[in-house]
C-alpha cells in the first residue's frame, strides 16, 4: 500500500452502553483507549461531560491529566443543536450561533482541533461562527451522514459556501455509514425478535442489498406484512449505499472520518461496510486526518445480548491497522 498519513482515533460514543449502564466511567474508557493502542480520542459533550456546556474547571484539569497519563490526543468534540428547548418557539439563529460559540470555547479547553457540527446547522450560522473558530484554531466540520451524501442539496450548498469563504476551518466529517453495502443482520434479527416473520425480514434485506428499495413495500404487502413491518422499513430507507469513489472530488474538505460500524464479525470485518474498498480510496485521495471508530450496533442487540463495545472496537481497530498497513 502507498504510504499514508491516516491516523486512528475512537469516538467514546462506541462505549456508550457501558457508560449508560455505569459499567465504565470516562476514565475507564480512556484507559481502554490506551490498552487498545488507539492514539486519538473523540467525545460527545452532551453524552459524557456532565453539565455540558457549563463545565467546571476541575473537569478540564482532570481531562488533561488523564490524556497525559494515558498518552492520548484529543481530536474531536461532537456538538448538537436542540432547537426545541423553548416551550413555544424554536431557537433563533442568534441563539444557535451562541450555542456554537460556546462549543468552540469548550473545544478549545478540551484541546481538540475540530468540532463535528451536526447537520441541522445552516451556511449562515457557519459563516457567522468561522472567525471565532479560526481564532481558536478549531475547524467546524459538518457531518455527512445517511440519508444524505456529499451530492445531496444541502451538502452541495455547503461545498459552495466552503469555496466562497475559503477557510481551512470549515469542512466535513464523513460518516462511513453512507457506504452501507449490506443491511445489518443485527437489524433483521432484532425485528424478528419483535415478531417479524423471517420471510419479511429476508425480503427487506434482499431489497436493500440489491438496491431495489422501490419495490420494498409491495414485496412486504405480498407477504401479508404488518404495519410494524412497514414501520421498520423507515430505518432502512435512511441507509445509503453510495459509491466511495464519489468522495474523491471533495477530499480537501473532509477533515475527519467517523468510521461507523455495527457488527465486527468473528472474521474481523464489518458486516455491512466495505472497509477494504473504502480505505484505499481515502489513501488515494490523500486523506491525512483521523479515522475514528464509531460503534453503533449496541442499540440493535441490547434487548437480548450484553453489548461489548470494547471488544467491537478492539476488532475494528485491528482491521483498520491491517488496512492502513500498520500491522
Of 7, 80, 185, 230, which one interacts with another protein (CB under 8 A)?
Answer: 80
Residue by residue, DSSP assigns 88-145 as TSPPPHHHHHHHHHHHHHHHHHHT-SEEEE-TT--HHHHHHHHHHHHHHT-EEEEEE-
Nearest distance in Å: CB 135, another protein: 27
Residue by residue, DSSP assigns 245-295 as GGGGGGGGGEEEEEEEES-B-TTSSBSSS-HHHHHHHHHHTT--SEEEEEE
Piece of 1-9, 12-20, 32-40, 149-157 that binds another protein (CB under 8 A): 12-20
Q: Which is nearer to another protein, 113 or 190 (CB)?
A: 190
Piece of 35-43, 116-124, 200-208, 241-249 that binds another protein (CB under 8 A): 116-124
Three-class DSSP category at 213:
helix
Nearest distance in Å: CB 277, another protein: 28
Of 83, 198, 268, 286, which one interacts with another protein (CB under 8 A)?
Answer: 83
Provide the CA 187 distance to its chain's centre, in angstroms.
18
Nearest distance in Å: CB 190, another protein: 8
**Binding flag, residue 195, another protein (CB under 8 A):** no
**Binding flag, residue 153, another protein (CB under 8 A):** no
**Binding flag, residue 154, another protein (CB under 8 A):** no
Nearest distance in Å: CB 50, another protein: 6
Piece of 32-40, 99-107, 246-254, 298-306 that binds another protein (CB under 8 A): 298-306
The answer to whether 254 and 287 have CB atoms below 8 angstroms apart is yes
**Binding flag, residue 16, another protein (CB under 8 A):** yes
Nearest distance in Å: CB 265, another protein: 22
Question: What's the CA gap between 261 and 277, in Å, rounded?
Answer: 15
Nearest distance in Å: CB 188, another protein: 13
Q: Which is nearer to another protein, 106 or 319 (CB)?
A: 106
Q: CA 69, 116, 119 angle in degrees (round to 5)?
A: 160
| Residue whose cell numbers read 472497509 | 275
Question: What's the CA gap between 83 and 89, in Å, rounded?
Answer: 9
**Phi/psi of residue 236, each to 5°?**
-65, -35
**Binding flag, residue 48, another protein (CB under 8 A):** yes
Of 87, 210, 214, 227, which one interacts with another protein (CB under 8 A)?
Answer: 87
DSSP 302: T
**Binding flag, residue 82, another protein (CB under 8 A):** yes
**Phi/psi of residue 224, each to 5°?**
55, 40
Of 190, 255, 256, 316, which one interacts with another protein (CB under 8 A)?
Answer: 190
**Binding flag, residue 122, another protein (CB under 8 A):** no
Tell me the number of residues near another protein by CB under 8 A: 29
DSSP 241: B
Question: What's the CA gap between 82 and 124, in Å, rounded?
Answer: 17
**Binding flag, residue 303, another protein (CB under 8 A):** yes
The answer to whether 4 and 283 have CB atoms below 8 angstroms apart is yes
Residues at the interface with another protein (CB under 8 A): 13, 16, 19-22, 44, 46-48, 50-52, 80, 82-87, 118-120, 190, 234, 299-300, 302-303
Amino acid at each position: 500500500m502507498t504510504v499514508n498519513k491516516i491516523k486512528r482515533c475512537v469516538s467514546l460514543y462506541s462505549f456508550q452502553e457501558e457508560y449508560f449502564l455505569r459499567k465504565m466511567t470516562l476514565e475507564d474508557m480512556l484507559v481502554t483507549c490506551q490498552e487498545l493502542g488507539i492514539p486519538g480520542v473523540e467525545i460527545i459533550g452532551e453524552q459524557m461531560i456532565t453539565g455540558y456546556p457549563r463545565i467546571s474547571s476541575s473537569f478540564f484539569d482532570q481531562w488533561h491529566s488523564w490524556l497525559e497519563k494515558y498518552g492520548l490526543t484529543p481530536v474531536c468534540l461532537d456538538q448538537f443543536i436542540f432547537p426545541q428547548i423553548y416551550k413555544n418557539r424554536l431557537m433563533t439563529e442568534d441563539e444557535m450561533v451562541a450555542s456554537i460559540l460556546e462549543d468552540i470555547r469548550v473545544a478549545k479547553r478540551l484541546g481538540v482541533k475540530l468540532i463535528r457540527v451536526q447537520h441541522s446547522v445552516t451556511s449562515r450560522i457557519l459563516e457567522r461562527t468561522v472567525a471565532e473558530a479560526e481564532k481558536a484554531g478549531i475547524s467546524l466540520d459538518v457531518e455527512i451522514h445517511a440519508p444524505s451524501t456529499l451530492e445531496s442539496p444541502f451538502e452541495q450548498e455547503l461545498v459552495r459556501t466552503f469555496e466562497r469563504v475559503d477557510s481551512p476551518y470549515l469542512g466535513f466529517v464523513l460518516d462511513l455509514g453512507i457506504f452501507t453495502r449490506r443491511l445489518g443482520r443485527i437489524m433483521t434479527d432484532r425485528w424478528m425478535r419483535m415478531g417479524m416473520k423471517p420471510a419479511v425480514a429476508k425480503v427487506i434485506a434482499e431489497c436493500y442489498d440489491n438496491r431495489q428499495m422501490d419495490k420494498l413495500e409491495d414485496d412486504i404487502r405480498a407477504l401479508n406484512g404488518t404495519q410494524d413491518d412497514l414501520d421498520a422499513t423507515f430505518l432502512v430507507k435512511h441507509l445509503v449505499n453510495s459509491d466511495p469513489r464519489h468522495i474523491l472530488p471533495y477530499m480537501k474538505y473532509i477533515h475527519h472520518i467517523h468510521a461507523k460500524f455495527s457488527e465486527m464479525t468473528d472474521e474481523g470485518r464489518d458486516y455491512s461496510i466495505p472497509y477494504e474498498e473504502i480505505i484505499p480510496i481515502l489513501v488515494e485521495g490523500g486523506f491525512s486526518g483521523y479515522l475514528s471508530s464509531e460503534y453503533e450496533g449496541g442499540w440493535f442487540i441490547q434487548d437480548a445480548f450484553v453489548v461489548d463495545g470494547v471488544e467491537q472496537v478492539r476488532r475494528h481497530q485491528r482491521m483498520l491497522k491491517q488496512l492502513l498497513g500498520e500491522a
